[in-house]
Amino acid sequence: MDRRRFLLASVAGAGLVGLAACGRGQGETVATPVTLDADVEELQKRTFDWFRHVTDPRTGLTPDRWPTPSFSSVAAVGFALTCWPVGVERGWMTREEARDITLTTLRFFHDAPQGPAATGVTGYKGFFYHFLDMETGHRFGTTELSTVDTALLLGGMLFAARYFDGSDAGETEIREKAQAIYDRVEWDWVEVRPRRISMGWHPETGFIEADWHVYNEGMIVLLMALGSQTHPVGPEVWEEWCSVYDRSWTEDYGPAHLHFPPMFGHQYSHMFIDFRGIRDAWMRDKSAEIGDFDYFQNSVRAAEGQQFYARTNPMGWVGYDDEVWGLTACDGPGDFKQTIDGREREFFSYSARGPGDRDDGTIAPTAAMASMPFAPDAVTTCLKAMKARYGEALYTQWGFLDSFNPTLTTRDGELLHGKIVPNVGWVDGDYLGIDQGPIVIMIENHRTQLVWNHMHGEPNLIRGLQRAGFQGGWLDRTA
């Protein structure tokens, strides 16, 4: 397992989406779009522009990070595919431009070599390697065949298939290619341990020991696997997934919720799946116990928990308060200890950060910004506060740099990422695709429900949700 995936694996009604919505046939929703604050709209546009600037038009590959030269992240590609229709709806690109880059991307992944070899391939058994060489599109280094990154890529592809519903040859091919890529994924092959899906596989050493078996972003993996018509796993996989929820339920960080420290775990699956008002058996039982509750409300509470943690600031970091908050997986200054104001502090490089977990004072704007559907007022306040306090050192032509740390204002030794900015502290030098994408997508879900509404009609997702035992809301209207 590569370092990033290892790190990620180790680890009340306020804030509802501000959309007036009512049901319509086939699970669709008629919504009154939210009027965004000008600063939020600008952030969405600048962050979208990043994807247009860095995505390779020859292949559709999006780099993991930029401007530091890097490999492609297949999850970031899935997020880029999701961003293109947002650009069309906002008037930032034409439908034809979005169609063409989407078709280029799907053709690339459809035709890319698959096989058990350690080199010269893009994937195996329908899955794709976590990182791909930007030039060849083949496996980068010794990265793993990743179940979650494949699922996030597929999320973008299946959304594209719903959005591009025209009869012309290009849009028709998008739909055909997306379904073909999804159908060849052998989900049953990665059910290595009974009732559990492995996080991945290496050709050199076999399956990764870690499974998707704690509440986190892995919901989309299981639901994709359950929805397959060609290589599905059984409903008992979802039952096993929910069987350990009691380990995650906590009141330590604000309102009681299924806790996963970094915020991305409460965002990634929600980018593609509208969990409002639909419940599996576990959520139906929990609602009977505590009142109306679902996975969307759980993410609302997780966002409130992050705000609570920043406000109480138990470790005494600079910059945490009522307005500025947000911990998730992100870049950090490096792996070292340094004494600051008489107190030894430990810092990390890329790491999954969260309340009570590897908190080193590093704040990631994406943690708050991609929580827009869950806490729109608090996110807007945070955005304005970050811009006011840190200005162009943090907020640029391409939106927010990945992360910053106001506590670390001097450094005698080396930094792995970024630099010390006077009167600000440490600031990263890169933008990360997997952190940029959720900002664009979740602002749009708050604004118009664009992705959610289209995915209401996605048959593979609907099958997965139904096989997992979800009922209620828009899902019942698809019958």
Q: What is the pLDDT of residues 246-296, one digit of tens each?
A: 999 999 999 999 999 999 999 999 999 999 999 999 999 999 999 999 999
Partners of residue 346 on adjacent β-strands: 337
The alpha carbon of 401 is separated from its chain's Cα centroid by a whole number of angstroms, namely 17
pLDDT of residue 373: 98
Pick the CATH number of 3-476 from 1.50.10.140, 1.10.645.10, 3.30.413.10, 3.40.50.1820: 1.50.10.140
The answer to whether the CB of 368 falls within 8 A of the CB of 302 is no
Residue 16: pLDDT over 50: no
**pLDDT confidence bin for 30, thresholds 50/70/90:** low
The predicted-structure confidence for 203-236, as pLDDT tens digits, reads as follows: 999 999 999 999 999 999 999 999 999 999 999 9
Rounded (10°) angle between helices 74-90 and 38-54: 130
The answer to whether the CB of 358 falls within 8 A of the CB of 352 is yes
- State the first-to-last Cα distance of the chain, in angstroms, to the nearest integer: 40
pLDDT of residue 478: 82
Q: What is the CA radius of gyration of the chain?
A: 21
CA atoms within 13 A on the CB side of 126: 24
Angle at 455 between CA 451 and CA 461, to 5 degrees: 140
pLDDT of residue 2: 38
Mean pLDDT of 346-364: 97
Residue in 155, 117, 10, 128 with CA at minimum distance from that of residue 74: 128
The predicted-structure confidence for 31-84, as pLDDT tens digits, reads as follows: 678 899 999 999 999 999 999 999 999 999 999 999 999 999 999 999 999 999
Angle at 160 between CA 153 and CA 197, to 5 degrees: 30
Q: Which amino acid type is present at position 67?
A: P
Mean predicted lDDT score pLDDT of the chain: 94
The answer to whether the CB of 418 falls within 8 A of the CB of 333 is yes
pLDDT of residue 33: 83
What percentage of the chain has pLDDT greater than the value 90? 92
The predicted-structure confidence for 97-151, as pLDDT tens digits, reads as follows: 999 999 999 999 999 999 999 999 999 999 999 999 999 999 999 999 999 999 9
Residue 356: pLDDT over 70: yes
Mean pLDDT of 237-251: 97
Mean pLDDT of 1-29: 37
Task: Tell me the pTM.
Answer: 0.94
Q: What's the 3-state SS for 237-264?
A: HHHHHHCCHHHCEECCCCCCEECCCCHH
Residue in 246, 90, 61 with CA at minimum distance from that of residue 156: 61
Partners of residue 96 on adjacent β-strands: none
